[in-house]
Structure 1
């Protein structure tokens, strides 16, 4: 039989060369491209391993804290840490910390916001010595959210005189009221506070006093002058109070040092001492105010705290200064009280002088410098001796979200009119950011009443500063986990309108504690300090759900496991079992954050009431289990792409082999008449194709290594040698069905034509109708060519759509975007090879059709059909298969893209159309080669047959 096989191959050299060429392309491409995939996989695994483990492995939250959206999509919200006010007991924390698998369990208790009044210096360039009495108005505007929000923040007034100012010492006036000394030495009270005499019945102006007299010391700082601005020319600079809320959190110092390296991030002072508890005592008002005539004592409890070295909010204070007419200054000089001035001065026109912009970073730095030196230039209760007075703290409840397509929308709330009243009654100052549209409910918790018969204050004593950029964990990166305990939440525009409104920048939180984005804590204390903030003797309205939760004060616990964790199944199971054990032991919500990566979630932020339009933002939430999915996806995707090459090649070989069997039906029938059994006929066909496969495999093995080197890839000898069995197996599988058909040959087939006649006559036989009729006569062969082309086009369409619409990726996470289902050059190479093999299969089908129906074409030519009409008939058959294959492949490719992306983007349409057009054009060009055989048909011999 071997001689018979060799004779057949020599007799059909063209067919043998075509089969060897197709197999050679397939196995060589597979060897080289899988070598590329192996190199890329090593890079992927290295990147994923380096980024799979974030700052902690497990996040523990109170029972019921996980939202339905997080459950449904496998997410952890970016606000998971800052949104909660307790819910976990210290006993539960200790239980978790004692588990043998746990290396560190670091608790965080989010307390609330403390209102701190910062200094905003404002220049008064028009004030000069000898200028007489002058009155200036400073109109303040708070600007935030990338300039989109502008909130009027009230007005303050500064009275300047060139006469001496003295502090009042008689009992008829408040110690806050200075008096002006005229030329005769008479005293005239100015900047009178009516509350020292009668209850105020209307709005009061904020009125400062200063002097341009260089010999006067009224406005110089010192123990007797707690209200001094300290400027060299006090009247040339005034100070405006700027209320800014700062968030407090409590941590376990030892755990926080081990998890985040907070102790190594201290840039000034000392780290928190877990054993250092708040200190309590009493102090005199004279000592606190610097006024020797102040009587009485006050209890003071000081809580040691660390403070961040920079403000977390994005906010500026714009101060527009104008000079009021002399008549207004005369009103102040006449001793008019502040309530009366409040009814007239706001309506008095002035002359613009200057506009000053103060960034919150400047004001915050001034506050820290004052706390360092022990001289905070505010009222004594806001800061004295390096402390900040906690007159109240504010808690904010989580944002309420509604569904909006694939994203969320923050639900606006009705503004709470009691907030302004609460703040003004407690501290006299109101954070104007709270006038904007709220999406959270804020609750003010004022300081408690007298304790043991005297008033009692709580002060935060700054013992050190820390720089969050020096922490051992980060809020950014491929494997980042929620770290709002140190880093500000930010969001980017999710649609063109929002991107344009933000100027292409990220949206940062401002001072609105009821807004969408939360500032990270600026003040960190220990759990021991938390006990004071939880004490009902100091603060009212505490308890479950309001303020610090006395029974369960901890908001979250971040857990890191012992040892190294990899991407292997054993490491993943170890984390899963520990998380399950924590849940079973405590009943708390547990999320596995190891192997997670930030992913954008679209969140709608309603329009503000002070200029900001409605925005659609991308918040970076954490997608769980990304690392393991990435490694599996990159292997699966590369394997699918390269197998497509083999599948299309197998279709090509099957088509060619099937055609050879059909063309040799007479020979096979004769062999059957001579007594050849079916198994021998089967072996004959398989042996022919297997021999060609072996030849292609040997050639492919020899070409794989040099081609790999030319491509800059390493293809090992072992991988190259695999081309031989791969080609042999591919050839045998492709030839199996045609060989089975050959084994069933019947002697009667010798008298049957190679192509069956149409089942019904073709009426009005135009070229298109004849082409369709011809394809229906060989449906299997036509379908095979169409399918081969469709596979290649589907791969190309999917890759082109992904590249255009998603910049080469469809995973949607930072880690996945970096390493996962990316479109690489090897992917395109595989898809292009598959598409070209598909086009070659269509051309081969046409060639076989021409060979099988040669007598019919000869008859058409003999009856007067011109050559161009016969050529058009063949090309029309090619066009039908090309259009059907390209359109079907495009539909499949777009469907695969939509499964990944969740929708079909407009950006994916143009590359799809271009791919379809290119596939059809390439197929028609390939089909032009077989049509050349029409010119060389032996018409006489075919007509004789």
Structure 2
């Protein structure tokens, strides 16, 4: 006769869960390993930028860099230098350094300030009104005075025109024979670089910067300069062109009104009023303003479509008011005229650093002032520095040394917006600043200096000019690429750190840029609101690896916790259930050896079938996909399970023969029932506590780690690359948790099946049974969930601190866990209730009378 101490249903039930554990744990270990390989590969391939180390003078880090580990993309919006040419050459001469590219911010220089030539008008009287404007992407600001010019045909004048212009118009501009106008100054960042090293760093051909050139004025040195191609030049002009009803008779009356006569020396009589009586000249302008135009046309010119920062070409408009540049024409139209400023480099401006206000995690920028004429907001102080001074009434230099920027071509800069690594070069930033509430609202600096945005370099000159224009220590930073490194891994990291330490000992402020990535920062700007800027987050790769290491530890711990607790409780429950049967065998004459042999035979059968089934599956999978790791992991899990079983046998070896004294428990029927079955409810309760703990802790933990990881573009990519892992591992984990909860609930209800059968036979219907047992489950589930969520909250706070809206997360997750447990209990209870009701349907003559009698007797 075959003796079985574990009934067939319980054995199948436990074997099924063991099979799931044997199957899922190796898969989860494989997922952890595969994800680790993927992350390391991504870090190696994508986290090294164009250079590795950023060298700056001592004490160069800003408060934001110190607190947040960030470097502004264009950190050279201003620069006072601090590194000498000799120090740079010493760094460059090291054998372990491949590239050492210096950069020196030279300041903000005026553009060439050329002129725009208009079409000549001969047939009618014309009024020109020209207004200039600039923009920061949000608002448009009018800059400079309105330029007004009247060009009236005049047969008495040798040129055929009489001209009346507003006092702000310069000499010879907007005249009748050759009308042209000059637009306002714009200011552009100039940076000095070493052409060879910068070329190695960026791939640009910059050798033209070393050419020797002569200035346009005798005694001046020509400085070759390259302009940033396709730069934003936010300067526009609106031209209103009106024809006026002023003919010979009207012009004659106008002259008589102001006692104007044409003189033999050819002087402009209306201009003589400006010189002799400025107030009367303003009256002339006011009178002319009252004349209504006959026809009107408005033309808007957008200089950003044509003008590069340091171009030096005269511009003219064709018949359709399109831009043309003299260099584009083989022969310039002789009827046109224009001028080009040649002394614009007499001075330059230095923009002082932004004063960032830091309050906790909040970063803000206060408004310093507004430009008096235009109202443009200014967020930094600007100071002017003199390069040279001309002698009075002369083009000779009286103080300093005369220089002129000579446009020698264009440079593109580095567009690494698609790269995952970030190497803040300080001068090529192309990342946009935009409103936090509207990403389509791009913000950029106006044509006047003072913006909170550090612009990229608009002009490049050779480092050979740096000492002359800036002083003995002109270099602001050196971008270093360490030699002998192809990617970013542990070996490369150690080598970079060693070089960084040695350079730091030489007196530099050294930041490790390898492994950095871009991070979008929210900054509150007074007068604008919250804006988003791209900064470089140092150590992004290390943060990703560190975060992943923590995730691996947490997930491995949770997997182990779920499996160990389930197996311990399951083995102990089975051991407790077998005790009475084993004592019965003792009374039949069986000895301890025979009972132990029977026990281990059943355990081998219980764990052997799930193990062999899982082993066959993994062997087949290994033959197809070469994943021997799954087979090895399965053996490890099986060995661990066997050891755990042996531990349970040792702990519960002593048979507890003491019978519990039956005592009356006060309280409701529900509470009495809970207390009576407390040994089995504890098993289910522990599973629910674990479920609540894991659901809450893991959610808070993963939210925190995801937020840490995806702060940078590299982290966002890596997270997306292993997103499959998170999905797989969470599905496996929650499947395992739910199965253990289902198994524990199933054991509980099966243990109480006789009680359920009795209640049914004394007249309880399905609804009453559901209400009674689900109410009981609800009571102990709430306690278990609150306990588990509390532990999760305490552990997470102790290890990682709080996260935003964690109270909402805890409430929602805990409610969801309670709902899931109740649903599982309902379905399992429905399964258990099938038996008594099926028996009831088969009982002949049963009408409930006997049940009512039993209920009354009870």
Q: TM-score, normalised by structure 1?
A: 0.73
CA contact (8 A) 2:128 2:148 kept: yes
DSSP-derived class of the 1:664 partner: helix
**Aligned pair 1:455/2:396, yes or no?**
yes
1:181 corresponds to: 158
Deviation at 1:396, TM superposition (A): 0.5
Deviation at 1:595, TM superposition (A): 0.7
Q: 1:495-523 CA deviation, whole Å, 9 max, x = no partner?
A: x2xx1xx6x24323332321111221121
Map 1:870-885 → 2, pairs under 5 A: 870-880=769-779, 882-883=781-782
What's the Cα RMSD here? 4.6
Deviation at 1:673, TM superposition (A): 8.7
CA contact (8 A) 1:792 1:831 kept: no
2:747 corresponds to: 848
CA contact (8 A) 1:793 1:889 kept: no
DSSP-derived class of the 1:486 partner: coil
Deviation at 1:591, TM superposition (A): 0.2
**Aligned pair 1:438/2:378, yes or no?**
yes
State the number of aligned residues: 798
**Aligned pair 1:524/2:524, yes or no?**
no
Deviation at 1:455, TM superposition (A): 2.9
CA contact (8 A) 1:82 1:520 kept: yes
1:271 corresponds to: 208
**Aligned pair 1:762/2:683, yes or no?**
no
CA contact (8 A) 1:117 1:242 kept: no
Task: Point out where structure 1 has 5 or more consecutive residues left out of the alignment.
Answer: 166-179, 194-202, 213-217, 220-233, 284-298, 418-431, 534-547, 608-613
Map 1:645-684 → 2, pairs under 5 A: 645=559, 647-669=561-583
Match of 2:477 among 546, 553, 556: 556
Q: 1:653-680 CA deviation, whole Å, 9 max, x = no partner?
A: 3332222122122245567899999999
Deviation at 1:85, TM superposition (A): 2.6
Q: 1:564-604 CA deviation, whole Å, 9 max, x = no partner?
A: 1444322211111111111111x221100001111112111
Deviation at 1:280, TM superposition (A): 7.3
CA contact (8 A) 1:107 1:252 kept: yes
Q: 1:206-259 CA deviation, whole Å, 9 max, x = no partner?
A: 5765566xxxxx52xxxxxxxxxxxxxx5xxx4341321121111122211222
CA contact (8 A) 2:544 2:709 kept: no
Match of 2:638 among 713, 717, 728: 728
Could you tell me how far apart the structure 1 residues matched to 2:721 and 2:792 are? 16
CA contact (8 A) 1:599 1:620 kept: yes
**Aligned pair 1:630/2:548, yes or no?**
no
Map 1:186-205 → 2, pairs under 5 A: 204-205=168-169
Deviation at 1:318, TM superposition (A): 4.1
Map 1:59-70 → 2, pairs under 5 A: 59-70=54-65
CA contact (8 A) 2:74 2:455 kept: no
Match of 2:369 among 414, 417, 421: 414
**Aligned pair 1:135/2:132, yes or no?**
no
Quick one: structure 1 residues 895 and 130, their matched pair in 2 at CA, closer, same or farther if it must change by over 3 Å? Answer: farther
Could you tell me how far apart the structure 1 residues matched to 2:369 and 2:487 are? 49
Q: 1:92-140 CA deviation, whole Å, 9 max, x = no partner?
A: 222322332211211101011111254575878xx85331x43322233
Map 1:39-54 → 2, pairs under 5 A: 39-54=34-49
Could you tell me how far apart the structure 2 residues matched to 1:318 and 1:190 are? 21
Q: 1:437-485 CA deviation, whole Å, 9 max, x = no partner?
A: 221111011343357997327343436323315x5x7355210221341
**Aligned pair 1:256/2:198, yes or no?**
yes
Quick one: structure 1 residues 345 and 282, their matched pair in 2 at CA, closer, same or farther if it must change by over 3 Å? Answer: closer
Match of 2:150 among 159, 180, 187: 159
1:29 corresponds to: 24
Residues 352-361 or 887-896, more deviating: 887-896
Map 1:743-758 → 2, pairs under 5 A: 743-746=653-656, 748-749=657-658, 752=659
Quick one: structure 1 residues 243 and 666, their matched pair in 2 at CA, closer, same or farther if it must change by over 3 Å? Answer: same
Q: 1:546-579 CA deviation, whole Å, 9 max, x = no partner?
A: xx3x232111111111011444322211111111
Could you tell me how far apart the structure 1 residues matched to 2:614 and 2:358 are? 56
Deviation at 1:52, TM superposition (A): 1.1
Map 1:450-529 → 2, pairs under 5 A: 450=390, 455-456=396-397, 458-462=402-406, 464-468=408-412, 471=414, 474=416, 476-494=418-436, 496=437, 499=438, 504-529=440-465
Deviation at 1:690, TM superposition (A): 5.6
CA contact (8 A) 2:77 2:105 kept: yes
Match of 2:7 among 3, 12, 15: 12
Could you tell me how far apart the structure 2 residues matched to 1:482 and 1:570 are? 23
Deviation at 1:527, TM superposition (A): 1.9
DSSP-derived class of the 1:722 partner: helix
**Aligned pair 1:793/2:695, yes or no?**
yes
Task: Point out where structure 2 has 5 or more consecutive residues left out of the alignment.
Answer: 259-267, 315-324, 841-849
| Structure with bigger RCO (C-alpha 8 Å, 6+ apart) | 2
CA contact (8 A) 2:684 2:748 kept: no
Match of 2:512 among 592, 597, 600: 592
CA contact (8 A) 1:659 1:848 kept: no
1:818 corresponds to: 717
